[in-house]
């Protein structure tokens, strides 16, 4: 699908051409109208810097990972976004659902002062804000999980945590995966911004150069915040695994207590249940009661000792 801004312009006169999951027909239409060769999705997914930013035919070709939504699975995924920039036009190629580009297109539709470099600057600023919003959301989710794990208040809370440790572990793992995706997007933007600012600085106004500088500073702060969240994820993972180990140890402790407490009465019952002809207590009037009391005492004594040791 091709979207041009302004909507009434042709591909050759638009200041922004946005290709969303383009097919061969879409690519051919833009290539013919603009006189260039668009990189393929495989080209945009290359990780080496020489493939992520280069000049060809007086145009700047850029690519960076970007977090988008997989609508079928309902989870975020990392997809490439490609840029082709010249002085009067920017072309974007993207392969995942993102409302960001649709909103930007609507907001730029009525502006007559926007050309290629200004549109690119606005897109980059929005992508930086997009990464920051994701990190803020992840930070809020991690704070909520931290409160759930550590802020003990009632027995009902403890029971709810015990039954949701596996779910909590999965949630933390997913948040860790999202942090990795945001980091990839931040690093990608961090690579292309200085390249554009240095390579095509003659195309940029003083205001645009200053905004690029601010965007780079924002990315630097986001990297620090991302590192903090990554450490928090690791801490929470260790904490949840620790709680799981504690619960497993408690189960083993209970089984140990039960087995120890059950040994003496079983032993007594086994001794007095033997079918030997001569047993000293066989004719004793109170033998049965004696055996029952003895089994009860040998059961309660270990329990009292375990309780005194605060094992339960």
pLDDT at 10: 67
Q: Which residues of the chain have pLDDT under 50?
A: 154
How far CA 171 is from CA of 184, 241, 243, in Å, comes to: 20, 13, 15
Q: Which residues are CB-neighbours of 270 under 8 A, at least 6 positions away?
A: none
Q: What is the pLDDT of residues 205-236, one digit of tens each?
A: 888 888 888 998 999 999 999 999 999 999 88
Q: How far apart are CA 110 and CA 125, in angstroms?
A: 19
Residue ranges per domain, the chain? 2-247, 253-308
User: What radius of gyration do the chain's Cα atoms show?
Assistant: 34
Architecture in CATH for domain 253-308: Up-down Bundle (1.20)
- Do β-strands 16-20 and 2-5 pair in parallel, antiparallel, or remain unpaired? antiparallel
- What value does the mean pLDDT of the chain take? 80
pLDDT at 110: 66
pLDDT at 63: 87
pLDDT at 231: 92
Q: For residues 244, 250, 251 and 254, what is the CA-based torsion angle, rounded to 10 degrees?
A: 180
């Amino acid at each position: 699908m091709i979207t041009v801004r302004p909507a009434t312009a042709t591909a050759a006169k638009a200041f922004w051409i946005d290709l969303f999951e383009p097919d061969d027909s879409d690519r051919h239409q833009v290539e013919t109208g603009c006189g260039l060769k668009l990189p393929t999705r495989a080209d945009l997914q290359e990780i080496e810097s020489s493939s992520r930013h280069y000049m060809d035919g007086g145009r700047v070709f850029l690519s960076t990972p970007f977090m988008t939504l997989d609508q079928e699975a309902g989870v975020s995924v990392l997809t490439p976004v490609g840029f082709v920039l010249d002085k009067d036009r920017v072309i974007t190629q993207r392969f995942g659902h993102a409302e960001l580009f649709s909103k930007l297109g609507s907001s730029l539709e009525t502006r007559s002062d926007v050309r290629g470099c200004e549109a690119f600057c606005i897109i980059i600023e929005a992508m930086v804000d997009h990464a920051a919003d994701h990190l803020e959301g992840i930070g809020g989710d991690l704070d909520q999980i931290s409160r759930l794990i550590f802020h003990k208040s009632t027995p009902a809370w403890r029971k709810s945590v015990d039954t949701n440790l596996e779910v909590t572990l999965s949630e933390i793992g997913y948040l860790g995966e999202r942090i990795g995706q945001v980091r990839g997007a931040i690093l990608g933007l961090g690579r292309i911004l200085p390249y554009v600012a240095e390579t095509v600085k003659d195309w940029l106004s003083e205001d645009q150069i200053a905004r690029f500088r601010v965007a780079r500073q924002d990315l630097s702060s986001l990297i620090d915040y991302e590192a903090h969240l990554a450490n928090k994820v690791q801490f929470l993972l260790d904490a949840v695994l620790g709680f799981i180990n504690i619960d497993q140890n408690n189960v083993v402790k209970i089984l140990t207590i039960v087995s120890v407490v059950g040994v003496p009465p079983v032993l007594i019952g086994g001794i007095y249940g033997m079918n030997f002809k001569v047993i000293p207590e066989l004719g004793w009037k109170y033998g049965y009661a004696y055996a029952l009391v003895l089994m009860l005492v040998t059961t309660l004594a270990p329990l009292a000792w375990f309780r005194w040791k605060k094992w339960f």
